[in-house]
Structures are given as structure tokens and as C-alpha cells.
């Protein structure tokens, strides 16, 4: 947070940015644990498999990419948030 403040972020925004990143990583780790079937990690969990049946083909394919590469998905999502934080810094 001090680093963000050093880049010109007001302290409250620095705390908000850091909190958003921590929340995203924590939530992503928790979701990764729920995506796969504990009895057969090569398959989606029963609740995820049931939800997939309600999605359109395009949405289903995107969600399946998350299920089978959750770490990559989390990294992409984190990159998006960090890009937004960096853009806000550049706009200052």
C-alpha cells in the first residue's frame, strides 16, 4: 500500500486496490478447490457439472476452460485488475 501511495494513490485508494487483489486471490483459490470432483479430479465437481448443463454452448466452453485451467484463469483475472490499477495510476 505504501508503494501505491508512493505512485500518487491516495491512501484510501491504495488500501482499496490492495484489498481488491487480496480478495481476488483468496476467492480464486477457494473456487479452484470447488471446481473439481474430489473423488475424480479429472472431472468437474457434481455441482459444477450440473450448472454447466444450463449454459449456452459458448458460455459452457468458456466455463470449462476455467475448470480445466483454473490457475491460468486466475492469473488472467488478476492481470485485468492490475491493469486497471496501473491505468488509474497513469491517469493521475
Residue ranges per structural domain of the chain: 2-91
* Predicted local confidence at residue 55, as pLDDT: 95
pTM above 0.75, yes or no: no
Nearest-CA neighbor of 69 among 44, 89, 88? 44
Averaged pLDDT for residues 58-66: 93
Give the containing element (helix H, strand E) for 37: strand 36-37
Predicted confidence band of residue 92 (pLDDT cuts 50, 70, 90): low
Q: Residues near 79 by Cβ (< 8 Å), separated by ≥ 6?
A: none
Higher pLDDT among residues 90 and 73, named by residue: 73
Higher pLDDT among residues 54 and 70, named by residue: 54
pLDDT digits (tens, 9 = 90+) for 5-61: 888 888 999 999 999 999 999 998 888 888 888 898 888 999 999 999 999 999 999
Amino acid at each position: 500500500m505504501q508503494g501505491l501511495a508512493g505512485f500518487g494513490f491516495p491512501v484510501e485508494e491504495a488500501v482499496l486496490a490492495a484489498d481488491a487483489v487480496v480478495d481476488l486471490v483468496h476467492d480464486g483459490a477457494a473456487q479452484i478447490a470447488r471446481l473439481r470432483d474430489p473423488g475424480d479430479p479429472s472431472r468437474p465437481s457434481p455441482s459444477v457439472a450440473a450448472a454447466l448443463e444450463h449454459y449456452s454452448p459458448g458460455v459452457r466452453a468458456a466455463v470449462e476452460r476455467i475448470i480445466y485451467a483454473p490457475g491460468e484463469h486466475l492469473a488472467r483475472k488478476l492481470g485485468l485488475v492490475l491493469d486497471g490499477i496501473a491505468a488509474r495510476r497513469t491517469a493521475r
